Amino acid sequence: MQSVIIVEQELKDSVKGYGQILDTANENKSRSESLDKYIDQEGKITDKLGLSNEIFESIVDLAKLSDKEFEPTFNLAVYILIELTGSMTEVLDKYPTLLTQLTNINPAKQPTLRDRKSIKASSILSLLNNIFNFLPETSKYRIEVVSKILSIVKDSQLNFNIVSQAIGQNLVQWLTTAGASEDEIRSIFWQFISLDNVEYSLETLQVIKKFTSNYKVVKLEELHSLIDFAFKTEVVDVSFLVNSNVSEAIQQYKSSDELVALFDKYVHGEIIQSPSQYPSVTEKSKILALTKFFAESNGVFVFKYADFPSTLVSSPIELETLLIKSIKAGVIEGKLNQLNESFYLTRANRFVLAGSSEDNTKNWEAVEKVLHDWKNSLHNIKDIVNTSRENIVNNQG
C-alpha cells in the first residue's frame, strides 16, 4: 500500500506552475524563464535530465514559501521529478542529497504562535512520510527516511506521541524488509527509544520488550539504556521486560556492573537505595517489596497493620500511603479499613521472570490448581441461580 500522486494536467503545465510559484517567492521571473528553456513551442520537454537537475537545484528556494504553500509545492516538485526519472527510488538514486536538502529546511526553532508563515517541522515530517510511502518496501532509502524523521523529532523537540504509535509498532519490520543490517536496526531502535524522554510511557516499554524478545542484548550500553528507561518510567512493575534475552544479559553483567546488579535486585522485589540520577527508585522498590510480601503470603487475604514487616514502613500513616500508592500503580488490589486497621487483599502481582525456572514451576502448579478448582465449581452455578430465581418468584407470589 503506497502513496499515489495523481495530477490532472500535463507535465509541461506542472513545470510552468512550479516556476510561477518560485518566481513569486523570489520576486523575479528568472526561474520561469530558465525552466521554459526545456519546453519547446509544441509543449514537449526537450532535455529531461537538464530539467530534473534544474528542479532539484530549485528545491532550496522552497524555504522562502509560507508553511501552507511549502508542502503542496514540494509535492509538485516530487511529482515532476518522478515523472522525469521514473520512480521515487530513481529520484533518490540520482539526487541522494534530496532528503538532506529537505531536512535542512526544518526550522532550528519552533515558530512562535504569532508566526503563521514559517515552515513548521510537522510539514517536513509529513513530506518525509510521503516519500517513505512512495518508496517500495524493500528500498534501502526507507532506512534513511526513518533516520531523518527521528532526527527531526529530536532536533525540533516534537512531542513523542507523533511517532510513538506510528513508528513504534512497525519500526523493526520496516527496517528488516528494507534490508537494514542488525547493527543499523539496533542503533535506529535505541535512537527511537531515547526520544521518549518526558513520559517514559508503558507503550514504549512494550516496544522495548518486543524488540528484546527478537534481538539479544549484546552490548552493556543497550542494557543500560533499557535499565535507564525502566528506572525513569512511572510503571512500577517492569518484570515483563525480563525475557530470556534480557535475563541472559543481566546474568552476564550483574557481577561486574553496579547498575545491572541494582536492576536485578529491583525486579526481584528488594528495597534499594536510589542512585542520584533516579530519585524515585526507592519509592518504587518499596511498592514492589510490599507486593512481594503479599505474593508470598499464600492463602491469607486479611492483613492487620501489625502483620506488615517493619522494614517496609515505620508508621500506620506511612503504611496506608504505601498501600494506596501500590493500588494506584496497579500491582495490588484490595480494600483498606482504617477503623479496624486492616487490609483486605483481592489481587497481587507476582514476579514472573524468565530464567528463574524453579519459581516458575511452582507458579505453573499453583495456576493449574486454581483453574481446576474454578472448573469444578462451575457445575453448580446453574443450580444456584435456578434456586434463587424460584425463591424470588415464590416470595413475591
Q: Determine which helix (DSSP H) or strand (DSSP E) holds 230, and give its type and residue range.
A: helix 220-232
The answer to whether 220 and 182 are in contact (CB under 8 A) is no
* Cβ closest to other proteins, residue 249 vs residue 259: 249
* Cβ closest to other proteins, residue 8 vs residue 42: 8
Residue of 117, 219, 328, 347 that binds other proteins (CB under 8 A) = 347
Residue of 33, 234, 386, 390 that binds other proteins (CB under 8 A) = 386
Q: DSSP per residue over 19-45, as a string?
A: HHHHHHHHTSSHHHHHHHTTB-TTS-B
By CB under 8 A, what part of segment 181-210 binds other proteins? none
Of 73-81, 200-208, 216-224, 335-343, the segment contacting other proteins by CB under 8 A is 73-81
The pattern of x and - marking residues 261 through 290 that bind other proteins according to CB under 8 A reads ------------------------------
Of 6-14, 37-45, 195-203, 261-269, the segment contacting other proteins by CB under 8 A is 6-14
The pattern of x and - marking residues 103 through 132 that bind other proteins according to CB under 8 A reads -----------------x-xx-xx--xx-x
Q: DSSP per residue over 265-297, as a string?
A: HHHTT---PPPTT-TTHHHHHHHHHHHHHHHHS
Residue of 69, 90, 257, 320 that binds other proteins (CB under 8 A) = 69
> From CA 328, how far away is CA 201, in angstroms rounded?
16
**Which one, of 240, 264, 241, lies nearest residue 254 by Cα?**
264
* Cβ closest to other proteins, residue 22 vs residue 227: 22
Is residue 155 a contact point for other proteins (CB under 8 A)? no
* Cβ closest to other proteins, residue 6 vs residue 317: 6
By CB under 8 A, what part of segment 360-379 binds other proteins? 360-361, 363-364, 366-368, 370-378
* Cβ closest to other proteins, residue 136 vs residue 275: 136
> From CA 286, how far away is CA 331, in angstroms rounded?
12
The answer to whether 73 and 65 are in contact (CB under 8 A) is yes
**Cell digits of residue 38:** 526545456
Cα distances (Å, whole numbers) of residue 294 to 56, 191, 307, 311, 390:
66, 38, 11, 14, 41
* Cβ closest to other proteins, residue 278 vs residue 303: 303
Of 41-49, 86-94, 225-233, 237-245, the segment contacting other proteins by CB under 8 A is 237-245
> From CA 305, how far away is CA 312, in angstroms rounded?
12
Residue with cell 552493556: 220
Q: Determine which helix (DSSP H) or strand (DSSP E) holds 133, and give its type and residue range.
A: helix 121-134
> From CA 99, how far away is CA 260, in angstroms rounded?
40
Is residue 173 a contact point for other proteins (CB under 8 A)? yes
Residue of 39, 55, 59, 76 that binds other proteins (CB under 8 A) = 76
